[in-house]
Structure formats: structure tokens, C-alpha cells
Copies of this chain bind each other. A is one copy, B any other.
Amino acid sequence: MVESASSASRKSGLPPGTLVHVGEVLATETRITILDYTPEGCSEHVATTIGEIAQYRDTDSVTWVNVEGLINIDIIEAIGEEFEIHPLVLEDILNTGQRPKYEQYDDYLFLVFKVMYPAEDGGAVNYEQVSVLILTDYVFTFKEKQDAIFDSIRTRLRKPRAQYRNLGSDYLAYTILDAVVDQYLALQDYMDTVIEQVEDDLLDEPDADTLSNIQRIRHELIFIRRSSAPLRELLNGILRSDSELISADTLIYYRDVHDHVLRVTDAFDTYREMISSLLEIYNSTISNRMNEVMKVLTVFASIFIPLTFITGIYGMNFVYMPELKWKWSYPVLWLCLVAIPVVLLRYFRKKKWL
């Protein structure tokens, strides 16, 4: 969840542009899948050499190169050379601690952002960095690991008459972004459930676990926000962009993703406020309870301590204590022992402690 302690600075001291995978190294083999499509058809295969990737350069088809796992630096470097990608861009792709951003180059657009989804065991949130390169007829996606987040896009593109196949690489990039933001919406639902759970706990029986839950969610929301907030800038950048790589017709779709991102970041901000508010309520509840406990102690102690004092007096062994020999002393004393609590209880009731 937190970037591993060793990640941010691993590159310190290396010259800029040196390609090293910086980030928690995931032992995922690099797997490159190519999906090439025209309105008429669609072909898929797994590539291992740069030649297989570059072979579609002179065709009219749109080619989606999905690189999963960032260990194999050679192939990424080869892609960089073949498609004339700036070394700093390649460096950013390999360093998985990137801040989401959008960069416009003459021949390509570069996007980098995070996919976030709740872990399946209901625990912490998973983060994965996705980099996207948009070229005229190519879209490259670079992911840290192999997972299913792009499966729905692939399924749709495979359909014989998919209308999406008429549209260019800019539309493909949009569907990728859209799939990622859909993950955010799923995360929003998940947080919704989790926060509702904490709210119920608070009403029911708040304890130290509730507190650590609140803390955990808050912590998570800080990281979610750090990953999602810059996405607004990223999309603003695309919307204001003058690049020819994104057609005016497609821009309206990016505007739609922008709306979704606004909605989801609004929601996360709301959750942050709610969590702050829940913590305050937790504290007030604890104070309230301490107050209750103190009242009980005070009532008990204040009633019995004077009574015990009285019994102490007549437990003394002085030779000359006339009361001890009076016949009615004991019953009269009992009257006192009953009267004192009655008076005190009235007083406490007046003070609204009972």
C-alpha cells in the first residue's frame, strides 16, 4: 500500500535516462500480447521480439500492445528505440512510483496513472501503475502484473461487428482509461460498504477495533486520494490538448471520463470528511461513557463513604462513649443510615446523574 521504503531513491546516483525498473519488483515475467484490428477483423497473439511488435507499422490497422510485467527491460528499450520514445518516458514507465500525469510529445502522447481495486480478501487496496503511449495507429500499455482489468475491452474488440473497431487509437486509449475509472467506481462502492460497517459499529459498541478500523480507512483514503486526484489534471490536460492524435469526436468521450473522475474524487473527498467526523464521534462517545462510569463511581463512593465513617465512630473502643449504652442508639443509627443515602440520591437526581 505504502510505497516500499526502498523504492523512491533506488535510482539515486544513476544518470538521468538510465533504464532500471524502480519500484517493488514484482516477479512477473514480462508478457506482451498484441491485439491488431481493422473494422473487418481482429487478430491476437503473444509477442516476444520487437519485430513482431513493429510489423504492423505500415498497415492501416490499430495495434494494441499490452506489456505486462516490467522485468524485461530489453524489450521495453527496444520498443523505445523502434518507436522513437524519449528516454525519460521509458524511465517513467519503468519507475512505478509515478504521479499520474499526461505528457504531449510531437509523435505520441504519454499517460501514466494507477489502477486501484480492493484486494479480494477484503483487506487493503491494490495499486498498479499503468502507462499508456498513444501513437497514430498504435497504443502501448505497460502494466506491473498480469490481471484481468482489460479483459472486457478485449472481449468487445473480438466481437465480429464491434462498432469500436472503426475508431482509431485515441478511442482505444479512451476505452482503456474508462476501464480503469470503472475500477475506481468499484473501489468507491467498496469504501461505501466499509464505512457503513464502521458507522454501524459506532452506533452499536465502539471499541479499540473500531478505532483501528477508522485509522486504517483514513490511511487508505489518503493514498487513494494521492493516486486519484492528479487524474483530474491528467484529463484536463487531454481535454485542453491540441494534439492531432486525439480527434474532436473522441474528445467528448474523454470529457465523459473526466466527469466520472470528478464524481469519484468527490466521493472520496466525502468519505474523508465522513471518516474525520466518525473519529470525532468516536471520541465523543468514549468521553460520554467515561462520564457514565465516573457518575456510577461517584454515586457509590459518595453514599457509602459517609456511612462507613459513621459505623467507624461507633466501632471505637473508648471507655466513655455514652451512646453505646443507650437502648435506642442502634435503631436511631439505622434511621440515619437510611436517611443519608435518600438525601444524597435526591441531590444526585437533582444534578441529573441518575
Contact = CB atoms under 8 A, between A and B. Distances in A.
A254 to B, nearest CB: 11
A18 to B, nearest CB: 10
A192 to B, nearest CB: 5
Contact of A8 (B174, B188, B219, B255): B188
Nearest to A86: B252
Interface stretch (A32-40, A120-128, A297-305): A297-305
B9 A185 contact: yes
Given A297-B302, A298-B293, A192 B99 contact: no
Contacts of A174: 16
A27 interface: no
Contact of A295 (B156, B293, B330): B293
A323 to B, nearest CB: 8
Contact of A352 (B13, B101, B205): B205
Interface in A197-215: 203, 205, 207-208, 211-212, 215
Interface string A285-316: 11111111111111011101111110111111
A219 B274 contact: yes
Nearest to A91: B256
A73 interface: no
Given A226-B267, A304-B306, 19 more contacts: A8-B267, A9-B186, A12-B182, A13-B152, A15-B156, A91-B256, A98-B259, A215-B277, A219-B277, A222-B270, A222-B277, A290-B290, A297-B297, A300-B305, A311-B312, A314-B316, A315-B317, A318-B330, A320-B329
Interface of A: 2-3, 5-9, 11-16, 86, 88, 91-92, 97-99, 101, 103, 152, 156, 164, 174-175, 178-179, 182-183, 185-186, 188-189, 192-193, 196, 203, 205, 207-208, 211-212, 215, 218-219, 222-223, 226, 252-253, 255-256, 259, 262-264, 266-267, 270, 273-274, 277, 279-298, 300-302, 304-309, 311-321, 323-327, 329-330, 333, 337, 351-353
